[in-house]
Chains A and B, each alone.
Chain A
Amino acid sequence: MRALAQIWQRHDLGKWIIGLIILLLLALPLLQYIPSEETLVTNLLLFSFTQMFMLVTLASNWNLTGGFTGYVDFGHAVFFGLGAYGTGIVMAKAGWPFVPALVVGAIVSAVFALLIGGATLRLKGPYFSIAMLGTLVAMREIVRVSRPLTGGGAGLTLPPYLNRPLFYYITLVLAILVVLFIRWLRQTEFGASLIAIREDEVGAEMRGINTTRHKITIFIIAAFSSGIVGGLWAYQNTFIDPDIVFLPARTVEMVMMTMLGGLGTVAGPVIGAATIYWLRDVVWANFLDYHLIMQGLLLILIVLFVPEGIMGTLGDRSGTTVGRLWGKYISPAREGTTQAEVNP
């Protein structure tokens, strides 16, 4: 066991394994072109992976405000929805091609984050959470009544374009980019400031961190990225209406995945999103009616029993047996934060 650990550390096997997984994921759609009796990789499977990559990206974005900065956003789906509607409207009404439309959607979402964040990010704790939940519900109603622009409750149909491998690659690359970006951000002074805001906002302010500007900046970054996901989702779904894009349950998903993986860690949302997505796809697909009930139950169980999440529990060397082994052999440095990082 010890020898294995030494090999693991000397060659940095963790990185190799992650690289291998990414390579496999990149190669997956190519299996479609291998001639065989049965299709190895169905479009449905690619679709499932696409959904998962989107959830990974969304959970990672949510983690930027909810995990790193400590502002728990219950309405993050509003940015997903605005991205979807921004993209959808310029494509369906103005006939723009997809890529510029996607940029428009993301910008709409980011601008809205600037406006709403300026007000709501001044609120503390649960007030911020509920104000954002209110923003989500309010935005849904506003979109529903703005019938000439958004199609109202009847929804909006986008020009269909069902190239599953393309969406697979776009979402995969987006997820990788976002995770790498967050990993980089975490090591910058800006990232450390966010954590300082989470730990002690007044203290951070006294040390000369412009907390309001930091909070709004990270809020806009997360909104922009979630707007892109929303636009992609709208295009591959070809139909959007207020109830499916401004879904409070989507925010719950992001929160749940991040919590399960580990709040405020880089890998947490990825692990959490992958776990919950496949659990749901494989296990709950047979109990469709009970799906949301199970989701609520799982949320409660996670919050009560693993509030630190998988990464938190595993990273904590003093914790369980699994956690000790993980801390010793697989990931020697804890990925969460330590006091030393906050106050160097």
Chain B
Amino acid sequence: MDQFLQAMINGIMLGGFYAAMVLGFSIIWGVMGVINLAHGEFIMAGAYFTWMMNREYGWEPFLALIVILPVFFVAGYILQRILINRVIERPHLISLLVTFGLSIIIANVYKLAYTGTPRTVESAFSGFWRAGEVTIPITRSYVVVAALTMMAALHLFLQYTRLGKSIRAAAQNREAAQIVGIEIGRVYAITFAICIALTGAAGMLASPTQAVFPFMGAPLTLKAFAITAMSGLGSIPGALMGGVVLGLIEVFIATYVPGIGTNLGIVASFVILVVVLVTRPQGLFGGLKPAGAL
């Protein structure tokens, strides 16, 4: 029973992180129709930023967000203007290949700069809370709190600000949004910038709980894809549900199936992906757009 409870808590905590990391991917896809295969590499970059701040200046990982958010926002804006903007109107193959190329470049630039050695980031909150036989790692619970905060802030932004409303309008109907005077290029660039900033922040959230290395991105991109397909494009509650479902499945497999590590989590997410896509192409929860509508 304790083992079950423990697996439950671990799964939900992992799910909280997954939900935060999937936001950027899901909204870029929902608004622009671009599947960003370099998503995991932005997470990796965020994690490396945190590691640098932690090593060079002894910053607490969570404090690194102050640097990561603006830097990644600007990087995302520039990247959208010079690269992603060229592929929005083109067939999906083009945007997939361009972002795939981008992911190779980013991962290998980081490998050149920091070598392939896995790094760890030490947080000051590295202890455990105990409740009976169940232990709750303090860092991970702060990660979940930060993830929920990010989701709530994004939700409020999309629902209640003028800019947020124009982003949703652009996602629903590009032409109509242009007719009512929304500057589509600017909206796209800002959307991309926000999503990359969120993704960099997700990298910070990943850094205290897993090893940081240049090729950590690819499995995360795949998981983001599986969660998004499951939850509907750009849906924040969907991202939370999808993230928790995947987190629980991964942890339960690792706990109850002997002899395999969490590496098979990627197999689990892949199986979910195919099953969901074949049976319910519109996703389980709906969102900005059904996943089937490309």
Using a CB–CB cutoff of 8 Å, the interface residues on chain A facing chain B are 72, 74, 119-120, 122-127, 129-131, 133-135, 137-138, 141-142, 144-145, 248-249, 252, 255, 259, 289-290, 292-293, 295-300, 303-304, 307
Contact = CB atoms under 8 A, between A and B. Distances in A.
Contact of B35 (A130, A248, A259, A295): A130
Interface in B208-261: 218-219, 222, 225-226, 229, 259-261
Interface residues of B, number: 43
A293 B294 contact: no
Contacts of A255: 97
Contacts of A249: 104
B283 to A, nearest CB: 12
A135 B271 CA distance: 9
A292 B103 CA distance: 11
B218 A299 contact: no
A126 B270 contact: no
Given A125-B92, A130-B222, A141-B264, 13 more contacts: A123-B274, A127-B281, A131-B273, A134-B273, A141-B263, A292-B104, A292-B105, A292-B107, A296-B101, A299-B100, A300-B98, A303-B98, A304-B98
A292 B93 contact: no
Contacts of A142: 264, 267
B220 to A, nearest CB: 11
B199 interface: no
Given A72-B96, A138-B266, A145-B264, A131 B101 contact: no
Contacts of B270: 131, 134-135, 137-138
Contact of B97 (A123, A145, A299): A299
Contacts of B259: 145
Interface string B88-131: 00101110111011111101110010000000000000000000
24 contacts: A72-B93, A72-B96, A119-B274, A120-B274, A122-B278, A130-B35, A131-B274, A133-B222, A134-B269, A134-B270, A134-B273, A138-B267, A141-B266, A141-B267, A252-B101, A259-B97, A290-B108, A292-B104, A292-B107, A293-B108, A297-B105, A298-B101, A303-B94, A307-B90
A248 B266 CA distance: 15
A143 to B, nearest CB: 11
Contacts of A133: 222
B83 interface: yes
A137 B294 CA distance: 25
B109 A293 contact: yes
Closest 9 CB pairs of A and B: A296-B104, A299-B101, A134-B270, A296-B105, A300-B101, A296-B101, A138-B267, A292-B108, A138-B270
Nearest to B35: A126
Nearest to A249: B104
Given A134-B270, A145-B260, A304-B86, A293 B112 contact: yes
A126 B92 contact: yes
Contacts of A145: 259-261, 263-264
Contacts of B87: 304
A289 B113 CA distance: 11
Interface of B: 35, 83, 86-87, 90, 92-94, 96-98, 100-105, 107-109, 112, 218-219, 222, 225-226, 229, 259-261, 263-264, 266-267, 269-271, 273-274, 277-278, 281, 294
Most buried by A among B100, B222, B267: B100
B112 A289 contact: yes
A127 B277 contact: yes
Interface of A (DSSP majority class) = helix
Given A122-B278, A141-B266, A130 B273 contact: yes
B146 to A, nearest CB: 28
A66 to B, nearest CB: 9
B96 A126 contact: yes
A293 B105 contact: yes
B75 to A, nearest CB: 17
B94 A307 contact: yes
B86 A126 contact: no
A17 B277 CA distance: 49
Contacts of A248: 218
A144 B92 CA distance: 32
Given A130-B225, A293-B109, A252 B94 contact: no
B108 A296 contact: yes
A289 B102 CA distance: 17
Contacts of B112: 289-290, 293
A299 B222 contact: no
A198 to B, nearest CB: 11
A35 B131 CA distance: 82
A303 B101 contact: yes
Most buried by A among B86, B87, B90, B105: B105
Nearest to A295: B104
Contacts of A119: 274, 278
Nearest to A72: B93
Nearest to A128: B277
Contact of A137 (B35, B94, B96, B218): B218
Contacts of A129: 92-93, 96
A273 to B, nearest CB: 17
B287 to A, nearest CB: 16
A249 B100 CA distance: 10
A144 B273 contact: no
